[in-house]
Chains A and B, each alone.
Chain A
Amino acid sequence: MTDTEVEEAAPRGPEGPVVPAQVLPEAWPKGTDHKYIGSLFVVAALVFLVAGAVLALVMRAQLTTAEAEIVGDRTYRQLFTLHGTFSVFLFLLPVWLGLGSAIVPLQIGAARLAFPRLHALSFWLFLFGGIMVAAAPALSDVFHGWTLSDPIPVRLGLRGQGPDLLLLGLVAVCMAAVLVIVNLIVTVLQLRAPGMTLRRVPVFSWSMMVSGAVLLLALPVLIGAFGMLFVDRHYGSSLFSGFTGSRGGNPLIWPRLFWFGAYPMLWALLIPALGAVSEIVATFSGRRLFSRERASVALVGIGVLSFAGWGTEVTTLHRARPLFILGGLLVLAPVALLIVNWLATLRVAGKEGDVAALRRRFAETPMMWALGVVPVLGLGLAASVVSAIDAGRDAHVTYWQTGQQHALFFGAATIGALAALAYWGPKLWGRRTSDGLAKLEILAIVGGVLLTVLGMLLLGVQDMVVHTSTFDSGDDWALGNMVVSAGAAVVGLGLLLVLLNLLGSVVARRGARAGADPWGGQTLEWATTSPPPAHNFDALPEIRSDAPLLDLAIGRSSSAAADSEGA
């Protein structure tokens, strides 16, 4: 192999425009490029993340000291509702949909998504739904919790159109998500480059497939549930109100319906984070995952078992509880296996590689983010064991569950998303972010999340109930609340730094240009320019495994070794 052929296979150091044409404002609103629409999803998600964080900080301000009167009980419940809804439906869902639809076609060597115009439609539908959700409190109070079950917003004297708008907005958001997922799965099934068999699909794309399959089955349940609740409220039927009888429906159905959809959905929003971390760990170890097969199987295992534990969240399922507890515990096993897989990869890399070089590579920003996921995920898993057994045992949800959910689905999923942004952001937008600032971000967010979660777990042990909007100075909750508030403030600071870093590096274009392959990547997206052209690839290397660029590197070094032996 000659050097020119390598250059052809993996073009490096391009002199093209840093911001591709489709990211410029002229593309709006007609652009259908998957990287452009994916970036729009990510930007919208970050806006809603900030909004959700601001809501959380107001809540924490109210709960920092005993008997505070910053917001009243009703306002607190509104903040609580919107914080949960924003975080799950308007941040975690779109951030993975956006990153997935921007990165997956690149990873499988496709030139586009299967249905580009449907993709654009999905984003605008999502934005429309998101604005409806955000506008809901302007019409009337929305204080039912993100599970919409405290109380269920049926017409029990609760007038006002706010919940109606919220429900319709959520239906639009979920429908948009289903359309993106259909698009993504069809793309992976149909548009893979020659040689890219399903077994060779990179692990992040694989995790998006698994997550997509779960969401494809879980989100429609939520669409149906939100739709029926809307019908109840708006057209005066009584499916979820009243007790048995010929006219009345059954309020016990609502939590079962909601959690049947929402429980797998939460896991599905963690799965891509695990996929992204797997990808990053392999890249920065400079080798394949310890066992790629087991990582794939573990991801599928999480997806399948995520449907088994929903009943742990429901207080009225007495007879079936043991089964659901088993399901809630089983789903933790593949997550633990995946962590072991990462650690084994690092260990083998440390044994076989040059330790000084590895240490340098581990200090790169995406790897630091990815390593930050591990302690948070570990803490979340430990808390989940207790939570699976304890949750739903009695009617009051304590802060233990809040802590567990924040560790797994806020902490690990969000830090994973930030790791993915740090890793693939330079590919999508052509600029690297400031490494120094990134270290501060990682310290603040990982540390802040750990502090927050530990505080919440402490409050859970002390039986503080979730919807409590104030507490007496006599209660022993002061310490825990102070810790949670401090952690939240640090996380808020970290998010601010993330935004400043992105704004300065990418939007103001102060960041260093990212070459085609800033991290020594193994998958196809690093075999094209950063940002990639509209058609993604001018040429593709031959694909013989899930890491074609690693194959090329190995081939190069082995042929160099052969040359030197021959000499």
Chain B
Amino acid sequence: MSMVAVPATADHLPVPASGAAPVVLPSGEPLPGPVPGRPRRGTTTIGTMLFITADAMVLATLCAVYFAIKEGSAAWPPRGVQVGTYIPTMITITAAMSAFSVQWGVWAARRNDGRNATMALILTLFLGLSIANLEWLTFVRSGFGFNDHTYGTMYDLLIGYHLLHLLAAIVVVLVLAFRVLAGHFTVDRHDALRAGAVFWQYSNVVWFVVVSVLFLASRHG
């Protein structure tokens, strides 16, 4: 009688009954045997990735409306609108740096190196707050309002959508930094940290999409 192995760490998995009979199909051939349970890690990370999939569809919807309106417009961006590339470039560089710093945090926590992990996450937070600050500056300095034209609306919506993710990611990383300090993560258990890093990276991806749409693919007419 083959028993099914239950991994010791998976406290949520019910213990299978032993002693069930080997099952034979009416044709006489036995059914394929049981597949041993595998320890399933990364539940939070997979959940985060699925959430990101849905979230990316919202971003895609915003971009679709942007391009649809752009195609129907005579001049895009509208006359008189000057969007500089200096601040967006700075944000892009900062976002790229934060991508490395947050990953440094995960790798450090994986080695049980709490000191490096804390430093990396604090650096990430600092970079994130810098991006938020620069983004606020783009709103203030853009020279047009939310309702002046549809370009202004889409500009604010797209950058605002990234700002929303950035602020959420900052809260997540802040909590994770405290959890690192509290010693919650070990070599074996750092799923939440990985999930947080994945969300941070996604927030960067949102920025790269937004900057491509608004500044690289914007000239028209």
Residues of A within 8 A of B (CB): 1, 5, 8-9, 109-112, 114-115, 178-179, 181-183, 185-186, 189-191, 193-195, 197, 216-221, 223-225, 227-228, 231, 235-239, 243-250, 253, 256-257, 535-545, 551-552, 554-556, 558-559
Residue in chain A with minimal CB distance to B52: A182
A552 to chain B, nearest CB (A): 7
Known: A9-B20, A257-B61. A237 touches B72 (CB 8 A): no
Is B141 on the interface with A (CB-CB < 8 A)? no
Give the interface centre of B13, B50, B54, B153 by most chain A CB atoms within 10 Å. Answer: B54
- Chain B window 79-118, contacts with chain A (Cβ cutoff 8 Å), 1 for yes, 0 for no: 1000000000000000000000000000000000000000
- A555 close to B24 (CB less than 8 A): yes
- B54 close to A219 (CB less than 8 A): yes
The interface residues of chain B lying within 8 Å CB-to-CB of A246 are 73-75, 78-79, 149-151
Is B147 on the interface with A (CB-CB < 8 A)? yes
The interface residues of chain A lying within 8 Å CB-to-CB of B4 are 194-195, 542
- A1 close to B148 (CB less than 8 A): no
- A220 close to B58 (CB less than 8 A): yes
Which of A178, A191, A244, A544 is the one whose CB lies under 8 Å from B72?
A244
Is B143 on the interface with A (CB-CB < 8 A)? no
Is B134 on the interface with A (CB-CB < 8 A)? no
- A224 close to B57 (CB less than 8 A): yes
- B43 close to A186 (CB less than 8 A): yes
- A535 close to B57 (CB less than 8 A): no
- B54 close to A544 (CB less than 8 A): no
The interface residues of chain B lying within 8 Å CB-to-CB of A224 are 57-58, 61-62, 65
Cα A555 to Cα B24 in complex, Å, equals 6
Residue in chain A with minimal CB distance to B57: A220
Which of A1, A110, A186, A195 is the one whose CB lies under 8 Å from B19?
A1
Cα A253 to Cα B19 in complex, Å, equals 62
Cα A190 to Cα B32 in complex, Å, equals 22
- B148 close to A247 (CB less than 8 A): yes
Q: Could you say which interface size class chain B belongs to?
A: 35 or more
Give the interface centre of B16, B51, B75 by most chain A CB atoms within 10 Å. Answer: B16
- Chain B window 32-66, contacts with chain A (Cβ cutoff 8 Å), 1 for yes, 0 for no: 11111100101100110011011111101110110
The interface residues of chain A lying within 8 Å CB-to-CB of B2 are 542
Cα A545 to Cα B68 in complex, Å, equals 49
Residues of B within 8 A of A (CB): 2, 4-6, 12-17, 19-26, 31-37, 40, 42-43, 46-47, 50-51, 53-58, 60-62, 64-65, 68-69, 72-75, 78-79, 146-151, 153-154, 157
- B31 close to A551 (CB less than 8 A): yes
The interface residues of chain B lying within 8 Å CB-to-CB of A543 are 16, 34
Cα A250 to Cα B69 in complex, Å, equals 6
The interface residues of chain A lying within 8 Å CB-to-CB of B46 are 186, 189-190
- B37 close to A193 (CB less than 8 A): yes
- B12 close to A111 (CB less than 8 A): yes
The interface residues of chain A lying within 8 Å CB-to-CB of B12 are 110-112, 191
A255 to chain B, nearest CB (A): 12
Closest 3 A/B residue pairs (Cβ): A194-B37, A224-B61, A220-B57
Known contacts A181-B54, A189-B40, A239-B153; 15 additional CB pairs below 8 A are: A1-B19, A9-B19, A111-B13, A186-B50, A194-B34, A195-B37, A197-B35, A221-B58, A221-B60, A224-B65, A231-B157, A244-B73, A538-B14, A539-B14, A544-B23
Residue in chain B with minimal CB distance to A2: B19
The interface residues of chain B lying within 8 Å CB-to-CB of A216 are 50, 53-54, 57
Q: List 7 A-B contacts (CB under 8 A).
A: A1-B21, A194-B4, A219-B54, A235-B146, A245-B73, A555-B21, A555-B24
B21 to chain A, nearest CB (A): 4
Residue in chain A with minimal CB distance to B151: A246
- B57 close to A217 (CB less than 8 A): yes
Cα A537 to Cα B14 in complex, Å, equals 7
Cα A300 to Cα B6 in complex, Å, equals 31
Known: A190-B46, A195-B4, A539-B15. A257 touches B64 (CB 8 A): yes
Cα A217 to Cα B7 in complex, Å, equals 34
- B150 close to A237 (CB less than 8 A): yes
- A540 close to B16 (CB less than 8 A): yes
- A235 close to B14 (CB less than 8 A): no
- B17 close to A191 (CB less than 8 A): no
**A to B contact number (C-beta, < 8 Å):** 199
Known: A191-B40, A195-B34, A544-B32. A552 touches B20 (CB 8 A): yes
- A1 close to B61 (CB less than 8 A): no
Residue in chain A with minimal CB distance to B70: A250
The interface residues of chain B lying within 8 Å CB-to-CB of A256 are 68
- B153 close to A221 (CB less than 8 A): no
Cα A386 to Cα B83 in complex, Å, equals 51
Residue in chain A with minimal CB distance to B6: A194
B83 to chain A, nearest CB (A): 15
Cα A244 to Cα B149 in complex, Å, equals 11
- B37 close to A239 (CB less than 8 A): no
Residue in chain A with minimal CB distance to B41: A190
A168 to chain B, nearest CB (A): 15
The interface residues of chain A lying within 8 Å CB-to-CB of B53 are 216-217
The interface residues of chain A lying within 8 Å CB-to-CB of B57 are 216-218, 220-221, 224
B60 to chain A, nearest CB (A): 8
- B31 close to A544 (CB less than 8 A): yes
- A552 close to B36 (CB less than 8 A): no
The interface residues of chain B lying within 8 Å CB-to-CB of A219 are 54
- A250 close to B68 (CB less than 8 A): yes
Cα A83 to Cα B209 in complex, Å, equals 39
- B147 close to A236 (CB less than 8 A): yes
The interface residues of chain A lying within 8 Å CB-to-CB of B13 are 110-111, 191, 193-194
B213 to chain A, nearest CB (A): 14
- A555 close to B62 (CB less than 8 A): no
Which of B40, B43, B65 is the one whose CB lies under 8 Å from A257?
B65
- A542 close to B20 (CB less than 8 A): yes
Give the interface centre of A237, A239, A540, A558 by most chain B CB atoms within 10 Å. Answer: A237
Which of B33, B74, B147 is the one whose CB lies under 8 Å from A237?
B147
Residue in chain B with minimal CB distance to A528: B14
Cα A554 to Cα B12 in complex, Å, equals 30
Known: A194-B5, A194-B37, A224-B58. A111 touches B78 (CB 8 A): no
Known: A216-B50, A237-B150. A228 touches B157 (CB 8 A): yes
- A178 close to B35 (CB less than 8 A): no
Cα A535 to Cα B14 in complex, Å, equals 8
Cα A551 to Cα B23 in complex, Å, equals 6
Give the interface centre of B14, B15, B24 by most chain A CB atoms within 10 Å. Answer: B14
Cα A190 to Cα B191 in complex, Å, equals 13
- B23 close to A235 (CB less than 8 A): no
- B150 close to A247 (CB less than 8 A): yes
